[in-house]
């Protein structure tokens, strides 16, 4: 083998313990042997996918090789076909998920510093070509990196690929030189799998146009990794500029800040948030990202569906990106679940909000009758002695001040004032009997306004005590 395995770029000390994924093929046996020769402490981990009759014998062959090297051996098996059918995954996706779940579980169990797998330059070329055909952006076209974190499996232990600069022919030569009997997976010739069709049909056809196609694609991936790293630095700064808040299953961004960014940066920010919300999804597609990036052009309350149970909506100068199952915060709004009687000068609404009630004779009121939307001055004789606070009802109507007593559907009024949709059901309505007196935060009702005939004034204010 003309090239050697170089671990210097991974920042792993010679004392590091590595879990090595070993299938029994030339790539993984080369990896195991080279790491062992370099002095690393290893655990050989073999996953049996139960996809072929000879799978059991291959597991025993790996066990034998590990024993000869005096390397601890661990194994696990699972029915990949059954798992794929149950989860709605392809065989390749299911096999990858179960294999990595096993490898990282062993790494956590044994406190390993990394999981090592035997991906080669050939795998890199096939990966880049697959992403290109499927329409991936820079994140996909850069291919695999020598060191990465896979949050779905572990947020701290890295996956390393020490053989990524070597070709499959190099690993086979290494195995022959060191008398390592490797197996050849018969399913690698099955062209029902997309990757195999690329390997055996498309790449040979493209090599008719460029005999050094694979080298060219490998160089391109390397160059794009540098570009991608530079973009991540720009993206980190942009994220800090537009990030507003985060919770369990959601992110919020400042709409004005997001609007100043280029469409490409907006797409990449959305991709980053989507990857955090759905770490099990590997590619979100350009069309979905483009559709999501257009959210800055939509008015408040507008919702845009993304993919994989995610959606975006605008609200109060922010853009929320959330999972449908997420419990988004309501702390910024008053909310009330049940009908409450206002029997004192303060009424606890919950969610940190308090309704304060104060009564004055008209000649002692020296302040403006309008201070802000969270304060209301009303005729106390028209409101009566008992006020109530309740959420909306289906048939509610409202007579907003300024409409000469005309009534409107409360639902229409909510839409007109752009009250966020998700806040409407429990928005507090101050009522006198069946009539709405004050739509807190927006408008008092015309019949309860102060006039020249008013003898007593009641002042309502809604205060957030948090």
Asked whether residue 222 is domain-assigned, the answer is: no
Confidence of residue 1 (pLDDT cuts 50, 70, 90): very low
pLDDT digit string, tens, across residues 411-451: 999 988 878 777 888 899 999 988 999 998 899 999 999 88
Q: Mind listing the pLDDT tens digit for each residue in 9-65?
A: 667 877 889 999 999 999 999 999 999 998 999 999 999 988 888 888 889 999 999
- Do 315 and 353 fall into the same domain? no
Check residue 3 and give its pLDDT: 54
Which CA distances in Å does 360 have to 3, 232, 366, 458?
A: 90, 61, 10, 6
178 and 188 Cβ atoms separated by less than 8 Å? no
The pLDDT tens digits of the residues spanning 126-142 come to: 999 998 988 777 888 99
Instruction: Give residue 2's pLDDT.
Output: 43
- Tell me what the mean pLDDT of segment 138-147 comes to: 90
Does residue 453 sit in the same domain as residue 317?
no
Sheet order of strands, 375-379 included: 346-350, 353-360, 457-464, 375-379
Shared domain for 273 and 199, answered yes or no, is: no
pLDDT tens-digit series, residues 237-284: 999 999 999 999 999 999 999 999 999 899 999 999 998 998 877 667
Alpha-carbon gap, residue 426 to 333, rounded angstroms? 10
Same domain membership, residue 379 and residue 236: no
Given a cut of 60, is residue 321 above it in pLDDT?
A: yes
Q: Among 323, 358, 387, which residue terminates a domain?
A: 323
Measured from the Cβ of residue 416, the count of other Cβ atoms closer than 10 Å reads: 11
Identify the three-state secondary structure at position 115.
strand
Q: Is residue 217 part of a domain?
A: no
Whether the per-residue pLDDT at 367 is higher than 80: the answer is: no
CA distances from 385 to 20, 304, 363, 398, 419 (A): 77, 46, 20, 21, 29
Q: What is the domain count for the chain?
A: 3
Alpha-carbon distances, residue 82 vs 54, 89, 97, 191, 196 (angstroms): 19, 10, 13, 21, 22
DSSP assignment of 394-429: TT-EE-BTTSTT--EEHHHHHHHTT--HHHHTT--E
CATH number at residue 60: 3.40.50.620
Distance of CA 408 to the CA centre of its chain: 41
- As given in the structure block, the two tokens for residue 226 are 């540098």
Q: What is the spatial distance between Cα 53 and Cα 122, in angstroms, rounded to a whole number?
A: 27
CATH number at residue 266: 1.20.59.20
Same domain, 143 and 32: yes
Is residue 284 situated within a structural domain? yes
Domain with 124, as residue range(s), is 8-206
Residues 310-347 as b/e (b if ≥16 CB within 10 A, e otherwise) read bbbbbbeebbbbbbeebebeeeebbbbeeebebeeeeb
Same domain, 78 and 200: yes
Per-residue pLDDT averaged across 386-402, rounded? 90
Note whether residue 358 is domain-resident: yes
pLDDT band at 346 (very low <50, low <70, confident <90, very high): confident
Assign residue 424 the CATH number of its domain.
Answer: 3.50.40.10
Q: What percent of the chain has pLDDT over 70?
A: 93
Q: Is residue 329 part of a domain?
A: no
Residue 171 lies in a domain: yes
Whether residue 226 is predicted with pLDDT greater than 70 in this model: the reply is: yes
Instruction: Give this prediction's pTM.
Output: 0.69
62/45 Cα distance (integer angstroms): 9
Q: Which residues have C-beta within 8 Å of that of residue 425, sequence separation ≥ 6?
A: 391, 392
The 10s digit of each residue's pLDDT in 92-128 is 889 999 999 999 999 999 999 999 999 999 999 999 9
Same domain as 181, residue 108: yes
Q: What is the pLDDT of residue 466?
A: 67
Q: Give yes or no: residues 31 and 128 share one domain.
A: yes
Q: Residue 276 contacts by C-beta under 8 Å, 6 or more apart in sequence?
A: 151, 251
Q: Phi first, then psi: give them for residue 155, nearest 5 degrees.
A: -90, -5
Contact 94, 51 (CB under 8 A): no
Q: Do 431 and 392 share a structural domain?
A: yes
**Residue where a domain stops, chosen among 323, 348, 378:** 323
Q: Do residue 313 and residue 352 come from a single domain?
A: no
**End position of a domain, from candidates 206, 222, 255:** 206
DSSP summary character for residue 189: G
Give mean pLDDT, residues 333-362: 80
Tell me the per-residue pLDDT of 69-90, one tens digit each, with 9 for 90 and over: 999 999 999 999 999 999 888 8
356 and 277 in a common domain: no
Q: How far apart are CA 265 and CA 261, in angstroms?
A: 6
Residue 21's DSSP bridge partners are 45
Which residue(s) pair with 75 in the sheet?
A: 46
Judge if 180 and 243 occupy the same domain.
Answer: no
Residue 418 placed within a domain:
yes
User: What does the DSSP 8-state code read for residue 67?
Assistant: H
Residue 211 forms part of a structural domain: no
d(CA 433, CA 416): 25
């Amino acid at each position: 083998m003309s090239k050697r395995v170089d671990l210097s770029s991974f920042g792993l000390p010679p004392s590091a313990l590595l879990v090595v994924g070993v299938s029994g093929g030339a790539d993984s046996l080369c990896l195991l042997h080279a790491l062992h020769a370099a002095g690393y402490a290893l655990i050989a981990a073999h996953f049996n996918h139960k996809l072929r009759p000879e799978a059991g014998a291959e597991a025993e062959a790996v066990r034998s090789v590990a024993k000869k090297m005096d390397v601890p051996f661990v194994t696990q098996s699972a029915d990949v076909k059954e798992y794929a059918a149950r989860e709605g995954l392809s065989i390749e996706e299911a096999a990858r998920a179960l294999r990595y779940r096993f490898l990282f579980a062993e790494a956590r169990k044994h406190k390993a510093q990394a999981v090592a797998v035997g991906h080669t330059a050939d795998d890199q070329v096939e990966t880049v070509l697959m992403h290109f055909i499927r329409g991936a952006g820079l994140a996909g076209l850069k291919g695999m990196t020598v060191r990465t974190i896979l949050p779905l499996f572990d947020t701290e232990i890295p996956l390393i690929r020490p053989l990524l600069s070597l070709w499959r022919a190099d690993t086979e030569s290494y195995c022959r030189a060191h008398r390592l009997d490797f197996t050849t997976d018969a399913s690698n010739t099955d062209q029902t799998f997309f990757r195999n069709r690329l390997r055996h049909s498309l790449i040979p056809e493209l090599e008719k146009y460029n005999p050094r196609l694979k080298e060219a694609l490998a160089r391109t991936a390397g160059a794009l990794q540098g570009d991608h790293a530079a973009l991540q630095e720009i993206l980190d700064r942009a994220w800090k500029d537009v990030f507003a808040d985060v919770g369990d299953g959601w992110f919020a961004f400042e709409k004005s800040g997001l609007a100043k960014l280029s469409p490409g940066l907006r797409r990449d920010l959305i991709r980053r948030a989507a990857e955090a919300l759905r770490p099990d999804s590997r590619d979100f597609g350009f069309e979905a990202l483009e559709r999501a990036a257009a959210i800055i052009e939509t008015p408040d309350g507008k919702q845009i569906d993304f993919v994989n149970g995610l959606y975006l909506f605008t609200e109060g100068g922010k853009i929320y990106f959330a999972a449908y199952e997420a419990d988004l915060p309501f702390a910024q709004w008053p909310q009330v679940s049940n009908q409450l009687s206002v029997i004192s000068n303060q009424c606890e609404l919950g969610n940190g909000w308090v309704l304060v009630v104060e009564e004055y004779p008209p000649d002692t009121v020296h302040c403006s009758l309008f201070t802000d939307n969270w304060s209301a001055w009303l005729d106390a004789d028209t409101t009566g002695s008992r006020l109530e606070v309740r959420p909306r009802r289906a048939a509610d109507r409202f007579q907003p001040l300024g409409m000469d007593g005309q009534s409107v559907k409360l639902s229409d009024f909510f839409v007109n004032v752009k009250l966020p949709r998700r806040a409407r059901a429990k928005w507090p309505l101050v009522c006198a009997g069946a009539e709405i007196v004050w739509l807190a935060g927006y408008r008092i009702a015309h019949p309860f306004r102060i006039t020249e005939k008013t003898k007593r004034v009641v002042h309502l204010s809604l205060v957030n005590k948090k």
